[in-house]
Amino acid sequence: MSDIQKLREIYKLKQVYRLNSVGDRKESSAEHTWSCIVLAEYFLEQHPKLDKSKVFELLLFHDVVEIEAGDTPMAPGFSREEKMQKERDAAISISKKLPKEFGKKYLGFFEEFEKQRLLKLNSLKQ
């Protein structure tokens, strides 16, 4: 039962509000994650060679860092390196609050997602 209680940490994502709005209110990060998964389902039908499970896992966990880091879009006076470090610190902290193996799995997904983001950013610079 203690593992179930630890998993509640991830449910805090429903209480994190993003800077963008949905109608007359702010969108929660959990809503954003759900929307990403719905869009992925649609686009993955057009790319059957992609690993659907892997895409869903990465999307499911991609914004969990916002539980501690908040929604941190790039803004003037806030460097990309500061944003990345803030999110990395949050990911490590959150992973320690989760059941041990699940926390390791989450941290692995976070690191993989960030690695892909860096590869994409670097390719855009060239």
**CATH code for position 31:** 1.10.3210.10
pLDDT > 70: percent of the chain: 87
Domain count, the chain: 1
What pLDDT shows up at residue 25? 94
Q: Could you list the residue range(s) of the whole structural domain that residue 27 is in?
A: 2-125
Looking at residues 46-63, what average pLDDT do you find? 92
pLDDT band at 101 (very low <50, low <70, confident <90, very high): very high
CA 44 to chain centre: 19
What pLDDT shows up at residue 2? 92
Tell me how crowded residue 69 is: count the other CB atoms within 10 A of its CB.
Answer: 20
* Under 8 Å between Cβ of 60 and 33: yes
In the predicted structure, residue 75 carries a pLDDT above the cut 80: no
In the predicted structure, residue 76 carries a pLDDT above the cut 90: no
Q: Return the structure tokens found at 120.
A: 């994409």
pLDDT band at 16 (very low <50, low <70, confident <90, very high): very high
Measured between its terminal Cα atoms, the distance across the chain in Å is: 50
* Under 8 Å between Cβ of 65 and 91: yes
Instruction: State the chain's mean pLDDT as an integer.
Output: 88
In the predicted structure, residue 116 carries a pLDDT above the cut 60: yes
What pLDDT shows up at residue 79? 79
The three-state DSSP-derived secondary structure of the chain is CHHHHHHHHHHHHHHCEEEEEECCEEEEHHHHHHHHHHHHHHHHCCCCCCCHHHHHHHHHHCCCCHHHHCCCCCECCECHHHHHHHHHHHHHHHHHHCCHHHHHHHHHHHHHHHHHHHHHHHHHHC
In the predicted structure, residue 48 carries a pLDDT above the cut 70: yes
